[in-house]
Structure 1
Amino acid sequence: MKAELHIQTARRDTRTYLKKTYVTPPFNVADITEDKRANQLTLMLMSSSPGVLDGDEYQLQVDLAEGCSLELQTQSYQRLFTMKQSATQQMRVQMAAGSAFCFLPHPVVPHAQSSFSTVNTIHMADGCSLIWGEVLTCGRKLNGEVFQFSNYHAITQVFINQRLCIRENLLIEPATMNLKSIGQMEGFTHQASLLYLNEQGLVPAIREAITGYLSQQTGILFGISATPAPGLLIRLLGQQGEQLHTCLKTVARHLPQTTKSQPESVAYVI
């Protein structure tokens, strides 16, 4: 199935609103913003399909106008069903000056013999704020399908003013890789990442708060790296998708997404 989704936001006074949306089955979009007076718009991406099927081709486009703030949520775990060939997805995000975007989808669950590739391309202008996360599981663990999928390939590239700033290339082919070795999964079954870019953010203070929070979590391994542009890249390894997803959401809730300067005396606590 070939499916498309296109979201356009605009700003009226201080509020972000949904200017235009175009979807084809199985996609749908719902406005779940709780505070209608708030600047941020919260949308939920829904699907009538039980998951990604063999031969599916998804095209997703999100356009944020100047000064807009959007949080895009997902409805449930994304299941990649058993495939004879493969499925693909392309997501493109266009962020005008001073806009903010947060996307932390539910974990991906690749079933046995599934093959999936996705390319995420994000274009940011000046003064933007981005929170982008991903959680990948080993498959249906309770069904004995631990790393039984064929391959999973995800490329995420971020451009700031047309200049490539970040390029993530995640490729897992269990049949050809020793995932238990050093530098791979090292005995863990789930992994997650969170990218935060904000030129106004207080990166040292934020990093200290995130480190303190993640250090208190049991059963995970994490690392935090500075990015070429002001921001952080967080990587997590664990045994449970829900735990890693909760960690990402908790961290994201405490990340400043304002595009205005923050006082240097501000302290961040998670």
Structure 2
Amino acid sequence: MSMTGTLRMKAVCRGDKTVVADTYFDGAFKVARPVYFQENEPTVYSLHVGGGYVGGDRYHTDVVLEQGAKMTLTTQSAAKVYKTPNEPVYQSMAVSLAKGSVFLYVPDPLIAYEQARFQQETIIHMEKGATLLYSDSITPGWSKSGHPFQYEWIRSKLKIYEDGSLQMYDHLFLKPNHQQLFSLMQMEGYTHVGSLFIISPMLGQDWQKELEQILAPYEDHIRSGFSELKNSGCAIRILANASHVIEEIILQCANWMRRKLDQEPVQLRKY
């Protein structure tokens, strides 16, 4: 089946510096030249040149980090999913992380408009000793009625394997027609949802207390929770009423982890 957009890239170590040694893109996906906000670590921006996702679109991204490589991947702007009357939008991503590599994925929010259907599947294979920070956020788009949650459904699946063994499976499914999303144990009065998954041998023993301190200043504006993963990792979920609040918390958590890795704070400089 033909793809609407394809992106592949590989990051490798050359001395103390990580370089993007192999890049391929096709269709609606493009990628800008790596930016070195930190001297030895590239930040890569993926671009969608079509203006938005429409019914039947299919996208795939492959990312490989070789041993010791460090890279941040982000997007130029939010992914806008419009009406999909016949077929949903499908997006997949495959990530391979070798020992000692550090991969930070911080895309802009997914905005789902009225009558949108969107399915995303991400599979990550990592060797023990690699570090992963994977984030995601979902926002309801504008609708003519002015009511939120006018999209048909959103499904997002994430599988993380370590040394070939499945360590985590996350399945987020939002379907407003069959659910009262504002109700208890669902969105609980909030409109935006964000997720962050961190796996690293450097997470440490006191990460729960440290994470509580990061989230504490936002308590009046969000509902959040986190849990421990069995492979030196944690999963964080955030409910809020504004995208920028979730983005700020994700960056705070990312920079908290980067300090543990003796890395400088991440800089995206999009606006």
TM over 0.5: yes
Residue 265 of structure 1 corresponds to none
SS of residue paired to 2:74: strand
Residue 266 of structure 1 corresponds to none
Counterpart-to-counterpart distance in 2, 1:114 and 1:130: 30
Residue 209 of structure 1, CA deviation? 2.3
Residue 93 of structure 1, CA deviation? 0.2
Residue 63 of structure 2 corresponds to 62
Contact 1:107 1:242 in 2 (8 A): no
| CA offset digits 1:55-106 (Å, max 9, x no partner) | 1000110011111011001111111011112110110001111111000111
Counterpart-to-counterpart distance in 1, 2:48 and 2:22: 18
Contact 1:5 1:61 in 2 (8 A): yes
| CA offset digits 1:180-224 (Å, max 9, x no partner) | 2211011111111110100222142x3322211211113111112
Contact 1:68 1:99 in 2 (8 A): yes
SS of residue paired to 2:36: coil
Contact 1:98 1:259 in 2 (8 A): no
> Would you say 1:44 and 2:45 are equivalent positions?
yes
Residue type of the alignment partner of 2:127: A
> Would you say 1:214 and 2:215 are equivalent positions?
yes
Residue 251 of structure 1 corresponds to 253
Counterpart-to-counterpart distance in 2, 1:27 and 1:93: 17
Pairing 1:230-245 to 2, within 5 Å after superposition: 230-245=232-247
Residue 228 of structure 2 corresponds to 226
Contact 1:203 1:230 in 2 (8 A): no
Residue 145 of structure 1, CA deviation? 4.5
SS of residue paired to 1:34: strand
Counterpart-to-counterpart distance in 1, 2:118 and 2:253: 28
Counterpart-to-counterpart distance in 2, 1:166 and 1:203: 20
Pairing 1:78-97 to 2, within 5 Å after superposition: 78-84=79-85, 85-97=87-99
Counterpart-to-counterpart distance in 2, 1:154 and 1:112: 18
Pairing 1:119-198 to 2, within 5 Å after superposition: 119-140=121-142, 144-198=146-200
Counterpart-to-counterpart distance in 2, 1:141 and 1:28: 29
Residue type of the alignment partner of 2:58: E
Q: What is the aligned-residue RMSD (CA, Å)?
A: 1.7
SS of residue paired to 2:254: helix
Residue 267 of structure 1 corresponds to none
Name stretches of at least 5 consecutive residues in structure 2 with no aligned partner. 263-271
SS of residue paired to 2:215: helix
Counterpart-to-counterpart distance in 2, 1:142 and 1:20: 44
- Distance change (3 Å), C-alpha of 1:259 and 1:242: closer
Residue 268 of structure 1 corresponds to none
Residue 25 of structure 1, CA deviation? 2.2
SS of residue paired to 1:8: strand
Q: TM-score, normalised by structure 2?
A: 0.90
- Distance change (3 Å), C-alpha of 1:142 and 1:12: farther
List structure 1 runs of 4+ shifted beyond 2 angstroms: 138-143, 256-260
Residue 269 of structure 2 corresponds to none
Residue 138 of structure 1, CA deviation? 2.4
Counterpart-to-counterpart distance in 2, 1:250 and 1:203: 19
